[in-house]
A = this chain, B = another copy of it.
Amino acid sequence: MEKKKILVLGGGFGGVFAAKSLEKLGRDKVEVELVNGNNYFVFQPLLPEVAASSIHSADAVVPLRQLLRRIQVRQAEVMGIDFEKKNVIVVQGARRVPIDLPYDELIIALGTGVDLDRFPGLPEHALTMKDLADAHRLRTHVIGCLETADVTDEPDVKRQLLSFVVVGGGFSGVETIAEMRELVTRALRYYPNIEDGDVRMTLIEYADRILPTFPADLAAYATRRLRMSGIDVLTGIGTKSATGTAVELTNGTIIPTSTIVATIGNGPHRLVATLGLDLHWARIKTDRYMRVPGHEGVWALGDAALIPLVEDPGENPADYATQTAQFAVREGQQLAANIIANLDGKALKPFAYTSKGSLASLGMSKAVADVYGIKLSGTLAWLLWRGFYLSFLPGFTSKLRVGVNWLVNSVMPPNIVQIQSTPPATRYNHYRKGDRVFEPGMLIDGFYTVIKGRFRLTIDNPETGEHFEKVFGPGEHFGERVLLRSALRTGLVVAQEEGVLLFIAQKDFTRFARAFPFLDNYFKDYIDRTFGGADKAFAPGSTNHKAELERLP
């Protein structure tokens, strides 16, 4: 009998455990392949520790090939699924040729995505905590803030750099701010010009209390603990909008900050959103056996799926499997058993599981735990937390790596190495009324186009007394001088109302302009038309552009 081809999309807890169980239960009947965008499994609960540099980035993850020795692992991007033809289309590596992966049974285990669109400015300016790159980015960002705060002479800039905001008081938000607090506290001795009192940490939760999945008394303990370590815990307040320099709350409070972490806004996975499947609460509706109704041979599990625990589920979240690792692991095992049962013509079993409890780390060797109905807090809970996650971490190698990390880190100064990465070439920036986009004396480092709102440019020449001003609206642009030469801004640009700008970095803008010879003329005309005689300091042709041209063979 030819083996059935089973394709698993997604390498999180659900996908990995489904694949492992399938291989174990049906080695002779099925051929399993797992497709994932990264070549590693992310141990989500340890991401805040990566952000706090308690453990190395690479140690909070496990290579999928090491975890799934007898299963074909394919690092690829899923472009689409043809449910009719039972075919998944992927692209892999640098050669962008779509490849067909036919399947007999398909398991969708893609998890969820982040959707912050309801909060103006949050998609543009907030960091998230979904994957390893996020955790790494947050760590780098926090250390960068300390580096600049230590040497800046501007009190406003220093205040903003030392203010850290986390939006969302769930499990992930609480652990993230607790770990950030610990990192900053431990790192401060290397930053002689920063006092502990200069640092401000804020946790914002829309509900009346943090940690909604925990009993109220444990949540209260956690709140006290966080406050004791110097974190402002704001509950019953929502987040309204964000910019590159501040976050605005629903009560009108404005908190200056360069660091906003959003742990809210679960949306469907980017691909799941386009599949035309029946979604509810951004999750794929399945039956109690984890089959996707109306699509033969398609199954879903984990955070991506809405799996009923009862016969007639309603709008009560308790009617469905919760989105935790514990559930995903059991779902994977049950789903594998169901697929094999199905192949064998046996009866499927509905998914059933009761949570064994929850744990949340509060930093500084404290935690809260609610396990098998027993409530714990403090150091004992923290030891339980570490022990539990170490045991839960798949693979001996990973356990050893994380264990060694924890040991080394406990006797060592914090690792404040900042491995920088290049910011994106084009990005959207959100501004509130009155925000400065740039001011005289700043380096010209990019080009701006107005997407939304109005922005006023003012140029004053202190020597000649000349004054120039112009308001830019959607579709208009400023900062063309970036093309002409590297120099300092002479103008001040201020948002006249809430607005969005598209920023294009100097190097990329110069290259782009060069792709279109006619743009050169366009800019010459535009500059004449817009500024008249106000700014005569334009040099003909861009030095950067020229330098690049000359360098080329």
In the complex, the chain B residue whose C-beta lies closest to that of A119 is B553
Q: Which candidate, A13-21, A90-98, A288-296, is the interface stretch facing chain B?
A: A90-98
List residues of chain B with CB within 8 A of the CB of A425. 424-426, 508
Q: Taking the complex as formed, is A87 at the interface, i.e. its CB lies under 8 A from any CB of chain B?
A: no
Q: Which residue of B has the minimal Cβ distance to A423?
A: B94
* Interface of chain A: mostly helix, strand, loop or mixed: mixed
Given known contacts A449-B514, A515-B449, A553-B120, A419 and B190 CB-to-CB distance under 8 angstroms: no
Give the residue of B58, B192, B258, B415 whose beta carbon is less than 8 angstroms from that of A417: B58
Q: Which residue of B lies closest to A40 (CB)?
A: B417
Name A441's closest neighbour in chain B (CB-CB). B97
- Total copies of this chain within the assembly: 2
Q: How far is the CB of A491 from chain B (nearest CB, A)?
A: 14
CA distance A161 to B40 in the complex (A): 20
A551 within 8 A of B: yes
Task: Say yes or no: A443 contacts B511, CB within 8 Å.
Answer: no
The docked-state distance in angstroms from the alpha carbon of A507 to that of B512 is 13
Contact A418 B552 (CB under 8 A): no
Contacts of A552 in B (CB 8 A): 428, 451-452, 500
Which of B76, B92, B413, B504 lies in contact with A511, CB distance below 8 A?
Answer: B504
A449 CB contacts on chain B under 8 angstroms: 514-516
Which residues of B have CB within 8 Å of A190? Answer: 63, 65-66, 69
Mark out the residues of chain A between 499 and 546 whose CB falls within 8 Å of any chain B CB in the assembled complex: 500, 502, 504, 507-509, 511-512, 514-518, 522
A39 touches B98 (CB 8 A): no
| Cα distance A40–B144 in the bound complex, in angstroms | 12
A416-B39 CB under 8 A given contacts A56-B56, A92-B152, A148-B94? yes
Nearest to A518 among chain B residues (CB) is B522
Looking at the assembled complex, report how far the CB atom of A327 sits from the nearest CB atom of chain B, in whole angstroms.
26
In the complex, what distance in Å separates the CA atom of A415 from the CA atom of B61? 10
- A145-156 interface mask toward B, CB cutoff 8 Å, 1 = contact, 0 = none? 001100111100
Q: Which residue of B lies closest to A498 (CB)?
A: B553
Chain B residues with CB under 8 A of A53: 58
Knowing A56-B56, A511-B504 are in contact, say whether A65-B416 is a contact too (CB < 8 A).
yes
A117 to B: closest C-beta gap in Å: 6
Contact A426 B507 (CB under 8 A): yes
A418, B40: Cβ atoms under 8 Å? yes
Which residues in window 45-76 of A have CB below 8 A to B?
53, 56-58, 61-63, 65-66, 69, 72, 74-76
| Docked complex: A119-133 residues within 8 A CB-CB of B | 120, 123, 132-133
Contact for A191 among B65, B136, B244, CB less than 8 A:
B65
Chain B residue at minimal CB-CB distance from A39: B418
Interface centre among A144, A147, A161, A244 (most CB of B within 10 A): A147
Docked CA distance A325–B74 (Å):
43
A442 at the interface (CB under 8 A from B): yes
The answer to whether B413 touches A397 (Cβ under 8 A) is: yes
When distances are taken between beta carbons in the complex, the residues of chain B under 8 Å from A511 are: 426, 502, 504
Contact of A408 among B72, B152, B401 (CB under 8 A): B401
